[in-house]
Amino acid sequence: MRDNFIIAAIRDPALIAAACSSAADRVFLLSGGIIELPGYCRLLRQAGKQVFLHVDLLSGLKADSSGISFLCQHCQPSGVISTKVPCLKAAKEAGLQTILRCFIIDSSALHTGAQLLKQCKPDYVEVLPGVSSKIIGLAVRQYRIPVIAGGLIDEAEDIKAAFAAGAAAVSTSQPGLWA
């Protein structure tokens, strides 16, 4: 991933068309079931998007090595997002890019995130809430891998602040910010 770019985060499948026509070249799919996921991923890939599936939020799929194999075969994502170390290890073994999602609510959560990073060695870490410059800065310094700011980012000013704090990327579910 290059620095300072926007990721389209999709919770509502009705926004897939908007993501396809947006300038965002990466998409986080944060919902969906195993029946419709292959079609969603196909549409996004045909639009030139890299698709990352948040496996903890998908329905009908267990986030284990069999679930990851299913996603690789039927959805062909660029990568996966998870809060779970075993899932990220299985995805890495399958050749996918991995993103550890961490909710940083206090210094203990920041420390726990560092422990999880050591266990699964993801390619990126997504920190939430992404509207806290202090959290982003702490994560950038402590984690030493590219940080994606996510959560509660709904204004252009939030994006500027996240980049100023050191985020390599920002994920947002606001289509107006996917430009």
At 18-63, the pLDDT tens digits run 999 999 999 999 999 999 999 999 999 999 999 999 999 999 999 9
85 pLDDT exceeds 90? Answer: yes
Contact call for residues 148 and 7 (beta carbons, < 8 A): yes
Q: What is the mean pLDDT of residues 159-172?
A: 97
Q: Please list, in sequence order, all residues whose beta carbon lies within 8 angstroms of the beta carbon of residue 97, skipping any fewer than 6 positions away.
A: 52, 78, 79, 80, 123, 124
94 pLDDT exceeds 90? Answer: yes
The torsion region of residue 170 among left (phi > 0), alpha (psi -120 to 50) and beta comes to beta
Q: What angle do CA 34, 35, 36 make, to 5 degrees?
A: 95
3 pLDDT exceeds 80? Answer: no
Buried b (16+ CB within 10 A) or exposed e, 15-30: bbeebbebebebbbbb
Q: Residue 5: which pLDDT band, with cuts at 50, 70 and 90?
A: very high
Going by CATH, does the domain composed of 5-177 fall within 3.20.20.70?
A: yes
Residue 163, CA distances (Å) to 25, 35, 118, 123 in order: 18, 36, 25, 18
User: Residue written as tokens 């390599």?
Assistant: 168
Q: Report the distance separating Cα 118 and Cα 155, nearest Å.
A: 33
DSSP 60-114: S--SSHHHHHHHHHHT--SEEEES-HHHHHHHHHTT-EEEEEEE--SHHHHHHHH
1 pLDDT exceeds 80? Answer: no
Percent of the chain predicted with pLDDT > 90: 97
4 pLDDT exceeds 90? Answer: no
Q: What is the pTM of this model?
A: 0.97
Domain-wise residue ranges, the chain: 5-177
